[in-house]
Structure 1
Amino acid sequence: MEKFFNVLLEFDKDKVHHIIKNTIEEHKKGYVCAIESNNLAVANKDKAFNKVVNGALVNVCDGSNIAWLLGKIHKRDFCSYIGNDLFCYFLNQRQYKQYFIGNTDEILAKLRQELSLIDSDIANMPFKSLPFRRVEDFNYSEIAEDINKYAPDIIWVSLGAPKQEFFMANLSPRINRGVMFGVGAAFNFMAKTGPVKRAPQWMRNLRLEWLYRAFEEPQKNVPRYWNFIKLLPRLVYGECKGR
């Protein structure tokens, strides 16, 4: 990984897959962060969060506009790797024991149903919701005990950023093995129920997925995008200066 905008990122998808698969095969552990505008902004304001994301096994760039901008600054061909696409990639491998945690019982029930159409074995894998509480208030020992009993290869975490990244960092020392992924709204997208949907393909092709999300959940996402936009000139200046 290389550091861009003060966060370590890996843009080579084959390397991302290799790192994750090797960790699983060697029965080791770690966590994966999908870096988009919100958690990139938080990582540049909160030292504790910056330490969390830079302590990840690997980070992918979950923002096509971020990848485009970095490509222009460094005159390199960068492509984003959206968290939902990474989720789909490993689901379609149909070979891993998986554990799904976070979100709501309603979303998880529909998610199990939809993912079982991809891999019938998923029907018998654990889907666990979590109570709504501060990230520091979870009973990590109890959560880890349940995960360790099942001994999954992959743990999918849907709590939203930056909460899920702190959650994975706190849980990591307590689990015996497995790669955790912070996938946020990917559970909602794949469950195909509720108000949160993924942007249509034509908007994704035009790098407008952020705009779709802004209209979809304006109270949540508009302030996040505005915080990133305010920070962007300083980030670009620092990146150009250190090029």
Structure 2
Amino acid sequence: MKKTAPVQEIVLGRNKRITIANTSIDVLSVEETVLLVQEYVDKKVPLHLIGVNADKINELNHNKYLQTIVNSCGIINADGASVVLASRFLNKPLPERVAGIDLMDDLVSLSNKKKYTIYLLGARQETVEKTAKVLKNKYKNLKIVGVHNGYFKENDWPILAEELKSKNADFVFVGITSPLKEYIVEYFQNSGIKSVFMGVGGSFDVISGNIPRAPIWIQKANLEWLYRVMKEPRRLFKRYLFGNIAFINLIIKEKFR
């Protein structure tokens, strides 16, 4: 993959930004994030809206290019209970977790109300099409200007960039795994696309009904990660076990540095 110079985005608002383990994070609640994103859309200022959890912080401490991309984003949310707990341990508390799937739903609801347009990019074709159908059924005035699966090669990026330019969507929700997602969004922004890009991980699978989400009480108890491990132990157990150990180690080093 050809690396390009990360876009240093225009930062709107006057929100405080802290640093945890070499990662910049905005001190924003969910409500404050939605209001700030609306300002980006209304002013047509391009934005890479990103959420960081323990896993991503671990990764960007081993990937300086990814770290530069993330820290250059206009809005960086804490999408992980462990990040919020770490901020309190380090005496620079964040207000709350800004869960990606919930924030996406809030922004889709806002789009329905404000007549913003959205584009869905990622997952399998049948999944992203079903996601669009579910959202259209839920939000009757929602304008979805396009969908595209996440199975394309780097040679296809210019073609897809032209597609996104022609659609000129206010929001592009990207359901592609990290760090490929960050690299793709960086390429699109360097191509002059002025949308709000938001990575949504596996949200399309949840919205389409392919994967169940944890019950509300588990979400409120900040145990959604444990629910995911129970559902996919072979794939996630080692990742969370060793990932959490690495993250705790980073935080302790920062605390006593």
TM-score (norm 1): 0.89
CA distance in 2, matches of 1:233, 1:147: 40
Deviation at 1:126, TM superposition (A): 0.7
Number of residue-to-residue matches in the alignment: 237
SS at match of 1:184: coil
Deviation at 1:206, TM superposition (A): 1.6
Unpaired runs of 5+ residues, structure 2, are 1-16
State whether residues 78 and 84 of structure 2, in contact with CA within 8 Å, keep that contact through their aligned partners in structure 1. yes
CA distance in 1, matches of 2:256, 2:128: 46
**What residue is the counterpart of 1:68 in the other structure?**
85
**What residue is the counterpart of 1:145 in the other structure?**
162
1:60-99 pair list within 5 angstroms: 60-74=77-91, 76=93, 78-93=95-110, 94=112, 95=114, 96-99=116-119
SS at match of 1:101: strand
Deviations 1:121-155 (A, max 9, x none): 4465211113255xxx2522211110111111110
Pick from 116, 120, 141 the counterpart of residue 140 of structure 2.
120
Pick from 168, 173, 178 the counterpart of residue 185 of structure 2.
168
Deviation at 1:212, TM superposition (A): 1.1
**What residue is the counterpart of 1:211 in the other structure?**
226
Give, as a single letter, the amino acid of the residue that structure 2 aligns with 1:3: T
Give, as a single letter, the amino acid of the residue that structure 1 aligns with 2:238: P
TM-score (norm 2): 0.84
1:229-240 pair list within 5 angstroms: 229-240=244-255
1:1-243 pair list within 5 angstroms: 1-13=17-29, 14-74=31-91, 76=93, 78-93=95-110, 94=112, 95=114, 96-122=116-142, 124-131=144-151, 133=153, 137-192=154-209, 194=210, 196-241=211-256
Give, as a single letter, the amino acid of the residue that structure 1 aligns with 2:20: F
CA distance in 2, matches of 1:30, 1:171: 11
Give, as a single letter, the amino acid of the residue that structure 1 aligns with 2:212: K
Deviations 1:31-88 (A, max 9, x none): 1111122211101111111111111111111111321232133163531100011101
CA distance in 2, matches of 1:138, 1:208: 40
Give, as a single letter, the amino acid of the residue that structure 2 aligns with 1:60: N
CA distance in 1, matches of 2:92, 2:50: 25
Which stretch shifts more, 17-26 or 84-93?
Answer: 17-26
Which stretch shifts more, 69-78 or 113-122?
Answer: 69-78
State whether residues 92 and 118 of structure 1, in contact with CA within 8 Å, keep that contact through their aligned partners in structure 2. no
State whether residues 156 and 182 of structure 1, in contact with CA within 8 Å, keep that contact through their aligned partners in structure 2. yes
Could you tell me the percent identity over the aligned residues? 19
Give, as a single letter, the amino acid of the residue that structure 2 aligns with 1:128: H
Give, as a single letter, the amino acid of the residue that structure 1 aligns with 2:247: L
Give, as a single letter, the amino acid of the residue that structure 2 aligns with 1:21: Q
Deviation at 1:101, TM superposition (A): 0.4
Taking only aligned residues, the RMSD between alpha carbons, in angstroms, comes to 2.0
CA distance in 2, matches of 1:129, 1:88: 20
CA distance in 2, matches of 1:219, 1:180: 31
Deviation at 1:91, TM superposition (A): 0.9
Higher relative contact order by CA 8 Å / sep ≥ 6: 1 or 2? 1
State whether residues 159 and 184 of structure 1, in contact with CA within 8 Å, keep that contact through their aligned partners in structure 2. yes
CA distance in 1, matches of 2:94, 2:118: 33
